[in-house]
Amino acid sequence: MRRIALHTRLKPGREREYDDVHATIPPELAAAIRAAGVHGWWIWRDGPDLFHLVEVEDYQRMRHELRDHPVNVAWQARMAELLDVTDDYSGTDSGLPLVWALPPASGGPTA
């Protein structure tokens, strides 16, 4: 299991719309994401900046599996209206590099 951190940015003035769209994720999308090996996905927003934490078995495999999945293609088209980013969803990235971590005292998972 890996933890992947991501950063994306919204187009100016799209914060409310982004929040509204994410209030209800289509069940088919959630199922496709889970089937691709994602165990959890969290998004925090600070103004237009979005910070994601993804717990996934294999990030590149997940991106590859979702790239052409019809429900994800539709979702990514909707997100393209809101996000100030170009992403071919190739999965060649590895997320943000980890700079520092304070591991759980129990010796739990590391990045």
2-82 is a CATH 3.20.190.10 domain: no
DSSP 97: P
Residue 90 has pLDDT above 70, yes or no: no
Whole-model pTM: value is 0.86
Catalytic residue (choose from 7, 22, 64, 69) = 22
- pLDDT tens figures, 7-63: 999 999 999 999 999 999 999 999 999 999 999 999 999 999 999 999 999 999 999
- Report how far residue 22's alpha carbon sits from residue 37's, in angstroms, rounded to the nearest whole number: 20
Active site residue 52: no
Residue 110 has pLDDT above 80, yes or no: no
